[in-house]
Structure 1
Amino acid sequence: MKKRHVFKKSILMLSVLAFAFVSCSEDESVEADTQTRDMTEVRLASEVDIAGATISDIIIDSYENQERNELNRTTSDQSYLPDCVTVTVVLEQGFREITLDFGSEGCIINGHLLKGQIIFSYTRDIEAQEILISYNLVDFYFDAKQVIGSRTILRQFSNENGNPQFTHSLDLTIIWPNGAQASREGLKIREWVEGFDSGVFSDNVFEMSGNWTTTFVNGNTHSYEVLTPLRKEVVCSYFVSGSVDVQRTNFGGTFDYGDGECDNQATFTTNNGNVIDIVLN
């Protein structure tokens, strides 16, 4: 009887250990799947950043180029837009509407394929310290991702540092070819820190601050706040430095674009200290 009791007890212990092992394995698998989903959303959100920054670069460049043309009464060739972009300008008393058409086949801008149209307008006043630019995206695609948006950029000719500044009200939705979808709302402030008085757009550098939210189609919402200004050199497709705090329920960390190199490498440091390498698309 004693041996049989020991045998039954051993079987029970083995069963408990097996159940615990299976439970731990399942928990680890769920945790791994959750982290993979979270990091996928962080990477997709960074693609929204890149698309939004490129759109802003294009609008700012085209606005500045148009103003130079009118002030100098000559056609400027300083725009960094390639010849495949068709630019149409509607001139009315104190009003300008500019259509940038990238065509159905698309144009390569800083390594990205853009299709469709960006249409923006503003009221022209050369003595005004602020100009409000309204834009609309029409059948617009960025590297096969559809971008939907209609918002404003406030152009201040001089901020407290004496630099031009653009305050961008964000309202963008991006749809990836695989059906993933994210919407972006918030505010980005772009300070023009280098090149604004050269007349050559390719040497321009912006630093960005602000805060915004990104909501995915599954309902997950990430909140973002710039910790270190994001440095955008217009000749580079990516931010070259800067960091952003990213938070969501039970998940968060710091997204870092690096130390100044123009590359597609970034890192994400989770709240518990894990460092994950990110390759940007």
Structure 2
Amino acid sequence: MKKNKFNIAFAIVTITLGLFSCTDDTSQNQSTSAVELVTLEASVEEVESVVDTYSLYALSSLEFESTTDVTGKTSSGKTKLGKGCKDRSGFFPDCAVFEEVTEGDVTTTTISFPDDCEDRNGDIISGTITIVKSTLDTDKSRTITFDVFTVNGYVTNGTKTHEYTAENENGNPQIEGSVNITIETDEGTITKAGTRLVEVTAGSDTDTHKDDEKTITGSYSFTDAEENTKTVEITTALIKPAACKYIAEGIKEYTEAGETSILDYGDGTCDNLATLTEADETVTEIELKRKRKR
């Protein structure tokens, strides 16, 4: 009888320890997942920064030599740089192909990149960007559509609706508007939806892109392939110097189920590192990734 009591007591202790063990493992897995999700979002931020740069210079720097046909339609036709299209920023690679067509008061600009087109920053670009705008002076809205637009293996689809301002209250050019895109990553397809403002805060007094510095603000929802969603707010503007491949400064807050974690990009040093502080004050250094493993 004593032996049976001992066996029962031992079983209870074993089960109890097992339950505590499972609880600890679950907590650890949740923490790891939070870090992985933020790491994924931060890497996607790097990709979107490249996408924004193409959008910005497409709106601010491209100039087309147009001709008018007998129907009254104005079109430059397909062209490469130096043949009917001028890029004042010097940002677009020679492999980019441009087409601009105006019908009535709507102008459509298409920028296409062949596979393995390497740009000025060493990024591998392919796919198509289409920009639709009104020629009316009162309408500054631009609808930018991405069709399998690929940056270093990350595939972007969807739209951005921007209002382009050549000179804002600070005297700087900017694009501001809504974002609704998907990006294919190694972890599956993610979605981003929200608002975004990109301002050129340094270098806008010259045509070249090489001395530009951009700041990025906004808020949005971020959902991964497993439908884990975080709301993200850029609380301190992200800073992306043209001379650095990575975002060098700024702070973002991630909120999920009432808990907030903070990602700090640092003090302006050009590196691929950022610091994540979770709701429980756990601190993790994460690596920003610009290329898919594939």
State the TM-score bracket (shorter-chain normalisation): 0.7 to 0.9
Q: Which residue of 2 aligns with 1:151?
A: 160
Deviation digits for residues 7-38 of structure 1, max 9, x if unmatched? Answer: 66554443333222222221122222222222
CA contact (8 A) 2:100 2:110 kept: yes
Query: Is 2:143 aligned against 1:134?
Result: yes
User: 2:58 aligned to 38, 62, 65, which one?
Assistant: 62
Distance 1:75 1:146 in 2: 27
Distance 2:10 2:258 in 1: 34
Q: Which residue of 2 aligns with 1:97?
A: 108
Helix, strand or coil: the match of 2:114?
Answer: coil
Deviation digits for residues 183-207 of structure 1, max 9, x if unmatched? Answer: 1110011222111111111111121
Distance 1:192 1:214 in 2: 25
User: 1:119 aligned to 123, 130, 145, which one?
Assistant: 130
* Aligned pairs for 1:187-206 within 5 A: 187-206=195-214
Higher helix share: 1
User: 2:93 aligned to 49, 61, 82, which one?
Assistant: 82
Q: Which residue of 1 aligns with 2:238?
A: 230
Distance 1:199 1:68 in 2: 16
* Aligned pairs for 1:1-281 within 5 A: 5=2, 10-67=6-63, 75-76=86-87, 78-90=89-101, 95-108=106-119, 110-124=121-135, 131-177=140-186, 180-249=188-257, 251-281=259-289
Distance 1:124 1:153 in 2: 15
Helix, strand or coil: the match of 1:175?
Answer: strand
Q: Which residue of 1 aligns with 2:80?
A: none
Q: Which residue of 1 aligns with 2:72?
A: none
Distance 1:77 1:239 in 2: 24
Cα separation, partners in 2 of 1:77 and 1:66, compared to 1, 3 Å: closer
Cα separation, partners in 2 of 1:54 and 1:91, compared to 1, 3 Å: same
Deviation of 1:212 (Å): 0.5
Deviation digits for residues 154-193 of structure 1, max 9, x if unmatched? Answer: 1123333333332131101112255x12111100112221
Deviation digits for residues 46-85 of structure 1, max 9, x if unmatched? Answer: 2222222211101211222225989xx9945532122122
Under a length normalisation based on structure 2, what TM-score does the superposition of the two structures give?
Answer: 0.82
* Root-mean-square deviation over aligned CA pairs: 2.7
Cα separation, partners in 2 of 1:220 and 1:58, compared to 1, 3 Å: same
Identity %: 22
Distance 2:102 2:244 in 1: 32
Distance 1:192 1:230 in 2: 12
Distance 1:192 1:207 in 2: 7
Moved more, 30-39 or 201-210: 30-39
Structure 2's unaligned 5+ residue stretches are 67-83, 290-294
Q: Which residue of 1 aligns with 2:76?
A: none
Deviation digits for residues 208-258 of structure 1, max 9, x if unmatched? Answer: 221110122322211011111111223333211000000112653001111
Cα separation, partners in 2 of 1:265 and 1:140, compared to 1, 3 Å: same
Q: Which amino acid aligns with 1:146?
A: V
Q: Which amino acid aligns with 1:249?
A: A
CA contact (8 A) 2:236 2:250 kept: yes
Cα separation, partners in 2 of 1:79 and 1:97, compared to 1, 3 Å: farther
Cα separation, partners in 2 of 1:120 and 1:183, compared to 1, 3 Å: same
CA contact (8 A) 1:115 1:142 kept: yes
Cα separation, partners in 2 of 1:198 and 1:223, compared to 1, 3 Å: same
